Amino acid sequence: MSVDPVLPPAGRHFRAPRKGLRTLPLALLFAVVALVITGAVVFAAVRSGTPLSGPAGPVPAAVPEAPVAVAPASLRNSIDSVLEENSDYRIGLALADVSGDAALTFGDQEAFTAASTAKIITAAAYYHLVETGGAELDDPLGNYDAAFQLEAMVNQSNNDSWLLLMNAVGYEKLTEYAASIGVAYDPEENLLTPAEMALVLKQLYAGDLLNAENTAQLLGFMQDTNNEDLIPAGSQAGVEVFHKYGEFAGELHDASVLTYRGSSFVLVIYTENPGGFKEPGQSNVIRELTGLIEKSLFPPVQVGE
């Protein structure tokens, strides 16, 4: 079963896996997000969780819990202005508080060719197979083991590793797994909306998909990748970024979790040049949107704080 029509060019260089795994903080607290619409202050949720150390009881919220469902008028206007200035491209954006139940969406919310951002679904599906006894991380896969292929696929965006892991899970099982986490996904079509990708990352970061060890490992692969020129390059100093970029023909995407001082948000930006080839303007608009959103969601970040 071939996925050539939807995969980026194969043969991307990748390095041998690191011997040690990155570690993440034992607890991540989710901060209050103040949201304003037409001059009225709309309160957001404060919820506490420990996504990398197992379930824990919630801390009483300072205000009634509610999903992030609206954006400050100034932020929405700024985003709309950027989208209008870059109307030559098809752009879809999804933004979600990891502790909330709703995603904000901007621009085009129809499905895009997801390119390599969908590798996160394949990775989660394989880890799930391991956790349910259907595979092992040290199982031989190609010339290496599955653990090596997972890191190569996510951290270095290697397509050969992707094909090996998709075949190991099975295309039908991969579709079934995606459906079980609320996403309609066919690996042969490789189509996702920005909101669907945001849902995957929310659940991953919250620890709802995988156990603590596998969550930490997969998130670790999503840092210091072979392409830090999109959302990471647009981020403020002090913001921690976990992300997976994707590119195919005219598609250029980045899907991320942004954390700063306990506040955690998912940001997914999909762009498409209808001309069928990638342009520098797509990278620029991803970085510009990242900066606008971070300034609205996070307090000013001072280097050294």
pLDDT one-digit tens code per residue, 143-177 = 999 999 999 999 999 999 999 999 999 999 999 99
State the Cα–Cα distance between residues 140 and 28, nearest whole angstrom. 35
Q: What percent of the chain has pLDDT over 70?
A: 74
Per DSSP, the three-state class of 300 is coil
Q: What are phi and psi of 13, to 5 degrees?
A: -65, 140
The predicted structure's pLDDT at residue 82: 97
pLDDT digits (tens, 9 = 90+) for 254-267: 999 999 988 899 99
State the Cα–Cα distance between residues 303 and 98, nearest whole angstrom. 25
Q: What is the mean pLDDT of residues 46-55?
A: 34
pLDDT band at 298 (very low <50, low <70, confident <90, very high): confident
CA–CA–CA angle 51, 57, 63 (5° rounding): 95
Residue ranges of domains in the chain, CATH in brackets = 4-297 (3.40.710.10)
The predicted structure's pLDDT at residue 47: 34
Most confident of 3-17, 70-84, 190-204: 190-204
Q: Is the pTM of this model over 0.75?
A: yes
